[in-house]
Amino acid sequence: MPVLTRDEAQTRVQLLDVQRYTIDLDLTRGDETFDSRTVIRFTVRAPGSSATADTFVELRPARLRSATLDGHPLDTSSLDDNRLPLTGLAPGEHELSVDAAMHYSHTGEGMHRFTDPADGETYTYTQLFMEDVQRVFAAFDQPDLKAVFDLTVTVPEGWQVLANGVTEHLGGGRWRAAATPPISTYLVAVTAGPWHSVRTEHRGLPFGLHCRRSLAPHLDADAEELFAITRACFDRYHEKFDEPYPFDSYDQAFVPEFNAGAMENPGLVTFRDDFVYRSAVTDTERQTRAMVIAHEMAHMWFGNLVTLRWWDDIWLNESFAEYMGYQTLVEATRFTSTWVDFGVARKAWGYDADQRPSTHPVAPEAVDDTASALLNFDGISYAKGASALRQLVVWLGEDSFLAGINTHFARHRFANATLADFIDSLARHTDRDMRSWAASWLRTTGVDTFTPALGGDSNAWTLDVRHSGHRPHRLAIGLYDRDPAEPTRLVARARWERDFPAGGGRTSLNGEGPRPALVLLNDQDYTYAKVRLDPASWDTAVQGLSGLPDPLARAVVWNAARDMVRDGELAPAAYLDAARTHLPHEDDLAIVQGVLAFAGRQITDRYLPAAARPAALSTLTALSRDLLRRTEGGENPGLRLTAVRHFVDAAQHPAALSAWLADDTVPGGPELDPELRWRILTRLAVLGAVDEAAIAAELDRDPSATGREGAARCRAALPDPDAKRRAWESLFIGDELSNYLFTATAVGFWQPEQLDLLRDYVPRYYPDAVALAERRGPAIAAAATRYAFPAHAVTAENLRLGEACLGGADPVPALRRGLADQLDDLRRALRVRGC
């Protein structure tokens, strides 16, 4: 499929002004296709020396029935892949009408259709991001051709339609949505089905929560919490922003088999319905859900009111929403420690992405086409960009930052803007050199590193800080002493804030009195950089990390240890030892979850050689038992749930897990809910302690969509040649699996315990993945690299096969990018093992 290039978009926006889309969708035409009728009213500007101009409209139909331009039929056979030519356009007003049948999707792209196995009800929703509008209706599909959208939808009786504007049921299954303000094509949204809805009103606007009917009890249980967060964020944004919320309603729909966490469609945010919790979750997971709510609401201003002109400025959407989401939760909700979770989990995503060959600037100077742009929705555009903004607020001051934002909104409301526009808005409210800041932080790649060296004696000491990198930083430096009454506990002596100029180099600082036991650079995690500890401070941290009084300080130390493992400077076993020592005393659940995730998924599964893995798993099970003992009295259920999950994942012997499953409870709690039962069953499948009959019985017990995914994961995990063959064929040969069932099967397939059984599948992966991605598109291509890649085959041969694939097989861009990242992680794992 031809992708839209930046040059083509610039040419088209100079030629066209699009006023209005009138769209009529009919979702009653069967299970495979739906009808899409579109009328586009647009104006052609004088094309210069030529009397007429040519352009095209995008469309990917199952069948193009007809197309007329100003009442004159167009040749439908001229449709070239996804482009319908429009030729000989004279200056002035035009009307294009397109009538087509469109395919439903089962990969979360375009118009996704899902039938709930729990009750047989069917639901549809749109995900039109980047270039998927053309899967639903004909469009001039680029973000700077904003228009008004009028939408009418016909659905089966008993269904409800939600859209960007308030919807009205006209009778007979016919629904009409209120016309939108001018928005970009990728932001149009429709959901249809027998939704369960909970509604309220806030500040004169209708608010709604929606999910499929089988999840109704779980949504009802959390509805007040969800509305409370929504109201709190809504009110806080109105305190920050001069521009009021710009749409007529605020619906949040939790939809099945959604690829992303959520999508910021104006007036109708769509979320993955995993956020409707049907099993127990930790408070940190509730915090994550709240952050996503805050993030998507921020997009109503950052992205929807003011939209990027082209995809090189996705940071103007995602980095801002990410920063605002975390900061607004701190200011407006009970979740006041969100920056700890950001530091432990989210920033790690950014650091990892920024050290791969595929890294890119937060704001690249040119993104050539939509396929390239899609690859940049990663840890750099989200986590690194948000980190840069947090550093900017520290450096600039929040008042100046918010004043610049409000100027930006006022200048570009319902229009499009660029990085240069935004920097100009900020520059109006500060004497700081915003253009130099943007050049240093937004136009460059890589991670700066700060390394301390301490000297001196008992009366005075010096701190030399080596800055490797090119960005300016404002850093907090924490000074900590041992508590004389309790040597493993640390007390804060002082916190300095210092500016480190662009260009790197050395900075010397002097201190009075005895040398601190621990000097922590980037205390409070204000900036985006890797930090190291001097030897004496590292020794203190190893002994007293859990005794640091501030969770953000502890997060910075844990991140430093993580980076040292990845860079080959700290033995993976030493990280596990630190976790074993300190996590039983850790109070912040985000830290516990983050450290255990890295210890399990990276250290135990990849960084340690196979011979060392059983001992590492024993360390994790012992640590989990410590956490279980700590929570025996019922306090801190989130910590206990985390301990249970990681005990299950690290178990090497089936006896305890089988007993839990038979009793339907963990001794001392919790009782097993569906998530825990499938988690235990998956681990038992890996260990060869269950069979197909047990999996089928569990699916009978839980016939939900997540039950189907659990069964697929378990079946793929069985250490049986026939089970592996069937799983492989369903992944790579057949195309029947939906995006979620594909992911579940892939997650179950590769297991470190089964390397011998899986050895012959490693060379098969590369040609099969290339063919799959070509057939099924970018969403499945991304899943094939993220979940189906043989990550646990940490061998030079696997690396050689992957490099040969990249060099000669010409994979589609989404697969190429994912493979490049996986192979770089594989190289790192091999280096760590070598160290």
- Residues carrying an active site annotation: 296
Closest CA to 12 of 139, 172, 152: 139
Closest CA to 372 of 88, 649, 42, 6: 6
d(CA 579, CA 577) in angstroms, rounded, equals: 5
d(CA 736, CA 726) in angstroms, rounded, equals: 13
d(CA 149, CA 179) in angstroms, rounded, equals: 6
Please write down the HEC assignment for all residues of 677-692: HHHHHHHHHHCCCCCH
What separation, in Å, do the N-terminal and C-terminal C-alpha atoms of the chain show?
45
DSSP annotation of 179: P
Half-sphere exposure of residue 607: CA atoms within 13 angstroms, side-chain side: 26
Question: Of how many residues is the chain composed?
Answer: 835
d(CA 498, CA 509) in angstroms, rounded, equals: 10
d(CA 300, CA 266) in angstroms, rounded, equals: 6
Closest CA to 357 of 761, 818, 673, 736: 818
* Contact by Cβ (8 Å): 713, 723: no
User: Rounded to a whole number, what is the largest CA-CA distance in the chain?
Assistant: 90
* Contact by Cβ (8 Å): 168, 175: yes
Q: Which three-class secondary structure state does DSSP give residue 777? A: coil
d(CA 500, CA 498) in angstroms, rounded, equals: 6
The whole-angstrom distance between residue 697's C-alpha and the CA centroid of its chain comes to: 34
Please write down the HEC assignment for all residues of 196-252: EEEEEEECCEEEEEEECHHHHHHHHHHHHHHHHHHHHHHHHHHHHCCCCCCCCCEEE
d(CA 439, CA 419) in angstroms, rounded, equals: 11
Whether the upstream peptide bond of residue 670 has omega within 30° of 0, thus cis, is yes
* Contact by Cβ (8 Å): 788, 748: no
Element (H, E) at 122: strand 122-127
Position of tokens 């992944």? 731
Half-sphere exposure of residue 801: CA atoms within 13 angstroms, side-chain side: 22
The amino acid at residue 287 is Q
Axis crossing angle, helix 613-630 with helix 572-582, rounded to the nearest 10: 10
The amino acid at residue 296 is E
C-beta atoms surrounding 236 within 10 Å: 20
Residues 6 or more apart whose CB falls under 8 angstroms from that of 432 comprise: 395, 396, 400
Structure tokens at 110: 């375009």
Q: Which three-class secondary structure state does DSSP give residue 139? A: strand
CA dihedral 290, 295, 300, 301 (to 10 degrees): 130
Structure tokens at 213: 């009917």
d(CA 287, CA 296) in angstroms, rounded, equals: 14
* Contact by Cβ (8 Å): 485, 445: no
d(CA 441, CA 361) in angstroms, rounded, equals: 8
Element (H, E) at 127: strand 122-127
What sign results for the dihedral spanned by CA atoms 614, 617, 621, 626?
Answer: positive
Structure tokens at 485: 């009454």
